[in-house]
Amino acid sequence: MAEQTYDFTAIEKAWQRQWAESRLYEAPDQPDPAKSFYMLVMFAYPSGDIHMGHFRNYIIGDAVARKQLMLGKAVLHPFGWDAFGLPAERAAIKRGVHPADWTNQNIAMSRATLQEAGISFDWSREVASCDPDYYKWTQWLFTQFFKKGLAIQKKTWVNWDPIDKTVLANEQVKDGIAERSGAKVEKKELVGWYFAITKYADRLIDDLEQLPGWPDAVRRMQTEWIGRSYGLEVDFTVEETGEKLPIYTTRPDTIYGATFMVVAPESELIDRLGLTGDDLERVTAYRQQALTKSEIDRTAAGEKDGVFTGKYVINPYNGERVPLWVADYVLAHYGTGAIMAVPAHDERDFAFARKYGLPLKLVIRPKADVSLVISEMDDAYAGPGFIENSGQFDGIPAGEEAINAFSTYAESEGFGRRRTNFKLKDWSISRQRYWGCPIPIIHCPKCGPQAVPDDQLPVVLPRVESYMPKGRSPLADVPEFLNTTCPKCGGPAERDADTMDTFVCSSWYFLRYIDPKNETALANWDQVKAWMPIDLYIGGITHATGHLIYFRFFTKVLKDLGYLDFDEPATRLFNHGMVMDAEGEVMSKSKGNVVSPIELMRTRGIDVSRLAMFFTAPSEMPVLWSDDSVTGVEKFTHNRFWPLAESYRGTTDALKQSLSRDGLSGYERDIYVKLNQTIKRVDEDSEKLQFNTCIAALMELVREYDASKISSDTLNDRVILTAIQLIAPMAPHLAEELWQRCGQEGSVFRSAWPSADPEALTGDQVTIAVQVNGKLRDTIAVAADAGQGDIEAVALGSSRVQQHTDGKAVVKKIYVPGRLLNIVVKG
């Protein structure tokens, strides 16, 4: 046979055409749930180019999807576009292209790239969140939430982005900086829509235990983000008026040590204090400057400041009178927006007390007979100990036991109650921007906010020509959109002019893939039950406390609404590592260090590019990409793997003929064992998404394979066909071509994934490491079935071993079957 070189371009194009024609990757609508696999990668924001990070993400999912196909599963492996959002608007303003056109162009470009890359997406199920057929159901979900009281309108202090001129959710602000625009976030009081995610806070934490297939890091981050704490709400009272001022504390056992109380500047409690004169002036001035400070300036660790209100409050436990302060280190939205300050035992209160000369009072002694001395303290004491100076509670160990005693007392006296608090806030979803999903609410002056009836959905986003951010939604200036009639009374009414946070659109897209063209329902719920939950969800860890909480929340709501019968959307989550340049810098256009995957695939081949990415590091680790990474796998592919087909001998049914270790001898037996060891390694490591070692195992097999030493045609062909199957998930075009060249019928992806012959996983001989006192002294080759006695005899006969045992007494011998013998000597 004339040697043929590996013409990857022709091969890759030809197979992509063939796969599309045979609709190999189209998923059935209603699979057998026991034999289905939902492989999901996070859908993409259509920025126009596919970078190395996308490429890595998608080839990992692709390899899994292909292996599952070979395992005989019905595989759903869809893709789509997270298509609403601010960058489209920015591009529109900058270049004068309408956001819809800009988005559609980018989708077309990105889709073409992914199709050229040969990823096994089922393109017949593609969705885009900006498509009215899609966002009709985003709106329908909103109305469902609204009817259940889970979409609520509130006036609250919000994160305001002064550059993008819109509200941001908590999850979109990092360190007081807006994630997208980079602006310092300001506080602003606004009316907007919220999803009542806090009602699900407990379940969102507790159900994480149902997710052993999720990385611990993500579960921990979510737990901390939701931030559950158990504490006590205690009513202090204003001395003059007797009005209740509740505080929240997780340490009620330190309440006798409260020497002042602090209220957040936003708190309306202050308005009810009846402040006058200097007090009013001072407090008002402080409140105003605190509120105009940006989030980052305000929360910057360091100096705390505040002002005295001139008022005093009474501690209900001991009747003590303590001063009431206003300070911005107390957060308005957490607990009651007010705290008791125990400077002796809380670091922050300590710092504040020192700054303003407020007194300290000790209520915990570290040991039963050792008290602290205030004048010697340069930090608060937050350690263990025993309660003191606290009347009837003295002597109780501080912490859980004391907290219980104090809490029970407050409840029985009626001035306090146990409460659970969360750091998680309700999800702010109103955005004062154009390019988003319209909120399907009609504001009627008589009937209040009304959900748009189902038969009037979708509320179509009108095509407007002005989308400059002005601090209120551009849709508010479109009378044809705005003016409508109330669905309840028929009177004149106005539509809500805000659009939804794009994270709403991405919280349910995985359901739409299952039945993307359904016009009468979000999806056929029977089909949803057959495919869901997602078997493997792959994406970056950046979404740990955003999207990955939101989509769990949506799933739980839909379960409560009776549409779903499961609590969690994805049983296994995998966060792939980042792709950076060779110096470890994040790739970005401004740095000019971007490597284009499409360029790489065109010059070196798709499969070689994939193998290079897989081989460089296990999937969860970061990759510092350099084109040098390609060299090794490229040589392997062209010079070692591709020529395998020429050694193929054309046995019929080489994969089905029976072969056994006992029926073979010499090299044939060795290569048969090696083949089965390789199957086992590739199978196990690919399950863990460790494709780097899968490739290493295949390299070893191919190097050891020598056709000239094999007389059995069946064995020879078995090795070749199996190797092709094992590499197929990682190098699909190459495998498909070789499969066909070896005369196999149909696609390699319809062939059965190899399983290892359990009788053929060990060779005839094993190498035993011989140690003396734990140090390696020799290795000996023995028959695989040799007993411990035989092995000890050989080991003790070794001169290298004797060198270290002569003249010494053997104390004991430790034998690890098939691996190691350790001889312990003394003297």
Residues 775-804 that bind RNA (CB under 7 A): 775-777, 779, 800, 803
Residue 738 CB, nearest approach to RNA (Å): 18
- Looking at residue 410, its amino acid is A
**Distance (Å, whole) CA 789 – CA 817:** 12
At residue 152, the 3 state secondary structure works out as strand
Q: Does 212 bind RNA (CB under 7 A)?
A: no
Torsion sign (Cα): 31, 33, 34, 35: positive
Residue type, 65: A
For the chain, helix, strand, coil in percent to 5 are 40, 20, 40
Residue window 332-351: x/- pattern of binding to RNA, with contact defined by CB under 7 A: --xx-x-x------x-x---
Residues within window 28-67 making contact with RNA, judged by CB under 7 A: none
CB atoms within 10 A of CB 578: 18
Nearer to RNA by C-beta: 241 or 639?
639
- Which segment (53-61, 428-436, 438-446, 622-630) binds RNA by CB under 7 A? 622-630
From the CB of 172, what's the least distance to RNA, in Å? 10
CA atoms within 13 A on the CB side of 552: 31
**SS3 of residue 271 by DSSP:** helix
Stretch that binds RNA, among 135-143, 439-447, 488-496, 636-644 (CB under 7 A): 636-644
Establish if 236 lies at the interface with RNA (CB under 7 A). Answer: no
> Least distance in Å: CB of 654 to RNA?
25
297 vs 477, which CB is nearer to RNA?
A: 297
x-or-dash pattern for RNA, window 286-325, by CB under 7 A? ------------xxxx--x---------------------
- Residue 259 engages RNA in binding (rule: CB under 7 A): no
Does 421 interact with RNA (rule: CB under 7 A)? yes
Q: How far is the CB of 295 from RNA (least distance, A)?
A: 8
Segment interacting with RNA, rule: CB under 7 A, options 31-39, 143-151, 358-366, 616-624:
616-624
Instruction: Give one DSSP letter per residue of 542-604, joined into a string.
Output: GGTTTHHHHHHHHHHHHHHTTS-S-S-SBSBEEEPPPEEETTSPBP-TTTT-PPPHHHHHHHH
Q: Binding RNA by CB under 7 A: which of 423, 488, 572, 602?
A: 423
- The correct pick among 264, 273, 673, 675 for binding RNA (CB under 7 A) is 264
Q: Does 331 bind RNA (CB under 7 A)?
A: yes
Is residue 21 within a helix (H) or strand (E), and if so which, with residue range? helix 8-22
Shortest Å, Cβ 330 to RNA: 4
Q: What is the 3-state secondary structure (H, E, C) of 90-118?
A: HHHHHHCCCHHHHHHHHHHHHHHHHHHCC
Return the bridge partners of 768, or none.
Answer: 780
Taking CB under 7 A as the binding criterion, the range among 356-364, 400-408, 566-574, 634-642 that sits at the site for RNA is: 634-642
Half-sphere exposure of 26 (CA within 13 A, CB side): 9
Of positions 148, 635, 709, 750, contacts RNA by CB under 7 A: 635
Q: CA–CA separation, 380 vs 384, rounded Å?
A: 12
The residue whose two tokens read 């028959």 is: 783
- Binding of RNA by 762 (CB under 7 A): no
Which C-beta is closer to RNA: that of 18 or that of 542?
542
Q: In whole angstroms, how far apart are CA 377 and each of 336, 541, 597?
A: 30, 42, 60
Rounded Cα distance between 776 and 548, Å, is: 49
Close Cβ partners of 318 (under 8 Å, ≥ 6 residues apart): 256, 391
Q: Which of 823, 725, 731, 826 is nearest to 770 (CA)?
A: 823
Shortest separation between residue 618's beta carbon and RNA, angstroms = 4
Nearer to RNA, 199 or 298 (CB): 298
476 sits near RNA (criterion: CB under 7 A): no
Using CB under 7 A as the binding rule, the residues of this chain from 696 to 715 that contact RNA are 696, 699-700, 703
Helix boundaries (H) for 293-399 = 295-299, 347-356
Site membership for RNA, residue 330 (CB under 7 A): yes
Residue with tokens 């998608």: 58
Q: Which residue of 291, 372, 478, 769 would you call a contact of RNA, by CB under 7 A? A: 769
Taking CB under 7 A as the criterion, the residue among 33, 622, 787, 797 binding RNA is 622
Nearest CB to RNA, comparing residues 56 and 111? 56
Interface with RNA, residue 820, by CB under 7 A: yes
Tell me how crowded residue 623 is: count the other CB atoms within 10 A of its CB.
21
Sign, CA dihedral 523-526-531-537, equals positive
Separation between Cα atoms, residue 640 and residue 636, nearest integer Å: 5
Candidates 403-411, 662-670, 732-740, 764-772: pick the segment binding RNA (CB under 7 A).
764-772
Which residue, 138 or 629, has its beta carbon nearer to RNA? Answer: 629
From the list 39-47, 273-281, 406-414, 615-623, the region that binds RNA by CB under 7 A is 615-623
Which residues within the stretch 655-694 sit at the binding site for RNA (CB under 7 A)?
A: 685, 690, 692-693
How far is C-alpha 235 from the geometric centre of its chain's CA atoms?
40
Q: Which stretch binds RNA (CB under 7 A): 88-96, 152-160, 212-220, 408-416?
A: 212-220
640 is a site residue for RNA (CB under 7 A):
yes
Does 624 interact with RNA (rule: CB under 7 A)? Answer: yes
Pair 168, 185: CB distance under 8 Å: yes
Does the protein bind RNA through residue 220 (CB under 7 A)?
A: yes
Q: Toward RNA, which CB reaches closer, 701 or 728? A: 701
Size of the site for RNA (CB under 7 A): 81
Closest approach of Cβ 504 to RNA, in Å? Answer: 20
Rounded to a whole number of angstroms, the minimum distance from the CB of residue 334 to RNA is: 4
- For RNA, which residue of 771, 791, 795, 805 counts as binding (CB under 7 A)? 771
107 vs 157: CA distance, rounded Å = 36
Stretch that binds RNA, among 479-487, 505-513, 630-638, 671-679 (CB under 7 A): 630-638
Helix and strand numbers, DSSP H then E, in the chain: 25, 33
Site residues for RNA, window 63-122 (CB under 7 A)? none
